[in-house]
Structure 1
Amino acid sequence: MSRSPYGPAYADPVTRAVVPADLDALVRAVGAALDGDGPPVAPVPLVRRATATTTLPPGTALVLRTSGSTGEPHEVALAATAVLASGAATHDRLGGPGHWILALPPTHVAGVQVVARAHAAGRGLTVAPPDAPFTPAVFAALVARTPSGERRYASLVPTQLHRLVAAADAGTPEGAAGLDALCALDAVLVGGAATPPALLRRARALGARVVTTYGMTETSGGCVYDGAPLSGARVRVTDVVEIAGPFLADGYLADPEATADAFRTDADGTRWFRTSDLGRLDGPAGTLTVLGRADDVVVTGGVNVAPAAVEAVVAEVEGVGEACVVGVPHPEWGQEVVAVVTPAGPAPRDPGPDPDPDPDPDPSRVGTVADAPAALVDAVRALVADRLERAAAPRRVLVVAELPRRGPGKVDRTAVARLAVGHAPG
C-alpha cells in the first residue's frame, strides 16, 4: 500500500490516539480499537484546540473530523459501542452481514464505517487502490475480487454513482462492466451528500439496489436509510432534524460549548443530537425528507428559500449536470438566489483520495465561471417557478466545469458562494 501523506504512524501527543501510517495499518488499528485491544484511532492528524489536559472519553475508539462543509471542522469522539451498534443496525436493515467494498477514503465516517462493518461481520474487506481514480473499470475489478457466495455491499457518494450510471448510459464496454458490477451487489449505500432524484431513479431503473443514507459523523454515519431510521434510532423534527439512539457520539474534542449546544438531553432522559438540517416527517410511518441545512436558507425579499429543493428541480432541466444553489447579497432583495451548475455530460471527476482538501476551490477543476445561456436561464427559472414559487427561481445561473468539493463528495457551499459573489452579472 502507498504511504499516507502524513508520514510514519505516530500517537497524537495529547490524546495518544494513533494516526496510522497507511491503509493496511488503519484497517488493523480500527479493528483493534473496536475490540478494545488497541488505542483510539484518528485517521488524520488532530488539529483541534487541545491542551495538555484534553482527554478522550472512556471507551473512545475513533476520533473523526467532520467535513466542515459550511464552517470550521470539529473532531468527534466515537465510542466503540456506538460504532458497533451502527454496524449491527446496518446489517439488520440490509438483510444480514456481508462482504464490504471500500471505495471511499477511510478518513471520514463513511469510509471508516465500511472498515468497521467488515471487521464486526468477520466477512472480509475488498479495498480499492488508494491512489487510483474511481472508474467503472476499477469498480468492476473490485467487485470481481469479492466472494460471490456471500452478501456483498458497497458504500458510495453520489459522484461515484453518477460516474457508473453515466458510463452505463454511454453504452461503452467499460460502462457495461461497471453496471454489471453495481447490479451484482446486494445493496449500495449512497450518502455523504444528497443524491439527485433523477440519478436515484435512473440507477434503480438500471437494476441497482441503491439505498440512500442520512447521517453524519456525530451519529456514527448513516442512521436513516431511505427515510426510515435504523433499528434503535429515533428521529424528530423541531426547528431542525434531531436524532437519538445508541449511535451518537460522546461529543466534540476540546469544545465543551459546541458539545453542549449540539447534544441535549430532554426531560425523559433521552439524549438528542441537533443536526443543522431542515426536514419533515411524511406519512403514517414518518418517513424523513431532508430539506437542506438550516443555515443554507436564502432569504430573498422576505421569502425563505430552501436551496436543496431548488437544486432538485434545477437538476431536472435539460443540459444541467449538477446544481448548487446559494444566496448572495443583493441591494434590493437582501439576497438573490443564484444557481451554479455544471453542464450535462461526462460524470464529474471522482472525489479522489485527499482526506483533507484545501478550503479554496482548485481553479483548474472549477474552470471558468460563465453566465449560462439565456435559454438555459429561462428554462431553469420557469421550471422552478412552476414547481416551487417565483421567489425561489434563481435570478442568475452560472456555469462551471466542476463544483468545488470538501470531504467525500460534499459540495463546498462556501466556495460556491464565493464564486457567485466574485462573478459580476454579465
Structure 2
Amino acid sequence: MAIGIGLLGLGTVGTGTAEILLTPQGRHPLLGEVILKKAGVRSLDKPRKVDLPEGCLTTDLKAIVADPEVDIVVELLGGIEPCRTLILEAIANGKHIVTANKAVIAKHGEEIFKAANQAGVYVLLEAAVGGGIPIIKPLKQSLGVNRISRVIGIINGTTNYILTQMAQHGADFADVLKEAQDLGYAEADPTADVDGGDAADKIAILASLAFGGRIRREDVYCEGIRTVSAADISFAAKLGFVIKLLAIAERPDIEEEALQLRVHPTLVPEEHPLASVNGVFNAILVEGSPLGEVMLYGPGAGAGATASAVVSDIVHVVGLLHSDTTVRNQSEKTLNPLLGCSHEHYSPILSIDTLKTRFYARFLSQDLPGVIGDLGTRFGNHQVSLESVVQIGLQDDCAEIVVVTHDVYEANFREALNEIKGLEAIKDVPSILRVL
C-alpha cells in the first residue's frame, strides 16, 4: 500500500529527509511504499537543494494536515506555534505524526499524546532528543525491562562545541560563541542552547520515558554555560576534570518515585566516559539494573543525523500500519506504548536544595592571612566538608582560591556561600559548578 507523506518544513533537516524519501534504493524496503506528497514552505521562490516532484511545494500548511492523500505528517518546523496547532489538527484528521520538535513535545506532550490515543494514531519522535542517536526506542524496548536509576546526557551540540573549543584553545565564551554562529553550529539567537533550555526540553522527554511518569517541563532545574570562563576550564583541567553541560534525570532512592531533574555545567572526571565526548557530538548514558551502564554516542544534530532518525520513524509507522490494519478504528486504544509514559500521573520532583553532590567554587579575595581558614570555618558551620582548597594565584591584586567539596547537600552549600559572601575579605565568587 502507498503511504503519503506531508512534510512541514524544508530547512536543513527537512531537505535531508526529502532526499532520503526520494532515493529509497538500497535502503529499507518499506521506503518503497512511501510517497512524498506535499512539502510545506514559507516561500515558493527560494532555491532548493533537492529536486521535488512537480506540485509538491506549497505554502498552505493547513492544507497538508487536512489532505486525504497524506497519511503521515512530518513536522520539522520547530518551536511551539504553529507546530502545536498543526500537529493537533493533523491528529484530528487521522494523520500519524513524526516530529523532531523537542520543545512542543516537552511542553505539550500530554495534550498531543492524549489526542493521538483518542484518534487512534501514532506519534513518533526519535529525532527530538539525540539527533541521529537512537535513544527513544532503546529506552522503551531494549532497556525497558531494566529498573532505570539515572540518565545523564550531553544532548546539546552547540554548548558541547563551545566548551570543547574553550578547552582546546583557551578561548573565552563570547569569542567561541561568535565562531559557532559563523559556522552555523549556533543560532543567531543562541538563548535556548547556551542557557540550557534545549537540553532541559530533551531531558524532560527522556525522564518521562525512563521513569514512566509525566514530567512538567518547568520542573527541570536549568543553568546554562554563559558564566563558564576559560579560567574555570583551565583550573578544572589541573584538578583532573573537564567541564560539560550535562542533563541529568535520576531517582536518588530507587524505592521512591521522586526524581531529580537538572541541567547545568558540570565538572566531569577525565576518566568518565562522557569526558571524551567533544565537538558537536552528543552522548547519553543510561544506568539501570540489571544491565549496569550503557552509553549511546553519535552526532546529535545536522541534516544527515537528524533526517536519519526522522525517516527511521516513518518506516516504523509504516511497519506498524502493516501489522495493525485496524488502527484507525481503535479510538480508545493506547497506540503509543513505545513512546508515551506508562502512567497518567506526574512524577514528583525533588527540589534542587535536596541534591547531594560535590561543588567547585572559585573565590577572589584580598590577599590576607587567614582567609583560607575563614573559608574552612564558614563551610564547616554548615556541614560542608572540603576535599581541597588551593590558592591558584593573583588576579587584579586579589588572591584566587579554588575550593572543591565532598558530597554535600545543595541547601547547606548555598547557606555557607551566603555567609562567605558577607566576609569583608571576599570580593567576588565568579564561579560555582557542580562536580559529577
Category of TM-score, reference length = shorter chain: under 0.3
Indicate the structure (1 or 2) with the bigger Cα radius of gyration. Answer: 2
Question: Could you state the TM-score of these two structures normalised by the residue count of structure 2?
Answer: 0.27
TM-score with structure 1 setting the length:
0.27
Between Structure 1 and Structure 2, the one with more helix by share is: 2
Structure with more contact order per residue of length (Cα contacts < 8 Å, sep ≥ 6):
2
